[in-house]
Amino acid sequence: MSSRSKSALVRPGSGGFTGQASDDLTARMGRLIQGGKADECWPWIGARSGGYGQLVFDGKGIMAHRYVHEVMIGPIPDGYHVHHMCMNKLCCNPLHLVALTPQAHMREHAGLIRDGVYKRAS
Ligand SMILES: [Zn+2]
Ligand SMILES: [Zn+2]
């Protein structure tokens, strides 16, 4: 598979990864994220699972947006969900991601549904 995206967009940060972070995994993730400007969505161009970007590493499926959160923002508290504020499930822009409790996440989504359709937060 060829990729023209810039590599090394995702660099290990100070937050660490509670899963299985490695330079190899981070490099693979970086090649599958189409990076852009800070205010743009950075779409995942690799495999998907349930509409989310996923990479199989060491026999385990790793959610792309959760990995980006852990590496670039910080560890995800136990049981927390990572919500896309842009409502784009494939987006890997850390500025568009936020860790929420499952309850807060449900409220967030319920508040964004209008006429059965998700509306982007403005
Ligand atoms: Zn986005
Ligand atoms: Zn969400």
| Domain of residue 27, CATH code | 3.90.75
Domain count, the chain: 1
Give me the chain's average pLDDT, please.
Answer: 79
DSSP category for residue 42 = -
- Is position 54 within any domain? yes
Quick check: 16 pLDDT over 80?
Answer: no
| Distance between Cα 99 and ligand 2 center (Å) | 9
Q: Quick check: helix, strand or coil at residue 117?
A: strand
The whole model's pTM is what? 0.75
Residue 30 Cα distances to 51, 77, 80, 104, angstroms: 19, 23, 23, 29
> Which residue from 98, 94, 121, 122 is spatially nearest to 110, judged by alpha carbons?
121
Q: How far apart are CA 12 and CA 60, in angstroms?
A: 19
- Is position 77 within any domain? yes
Residues comprising the chain, all counted: 122
| Distance between Cα 4 and ligand 1 center (Å) | 20
| Distance between Cα 112 and ligand 2 center (Å) | 10
Ligand number with the minimum distance to the CA of 118: 2
Answer with the residue of higher pLDDT: 47 or 119: 47
| Distance between Cα 29 and ligand 1 center (Å) | 16
- Is position 14 within any domain? no
- Is position 98 within any domain? yes
**Domain hosting residue 62, numbered range:** 23-118
- Is position 2 within any domain? no
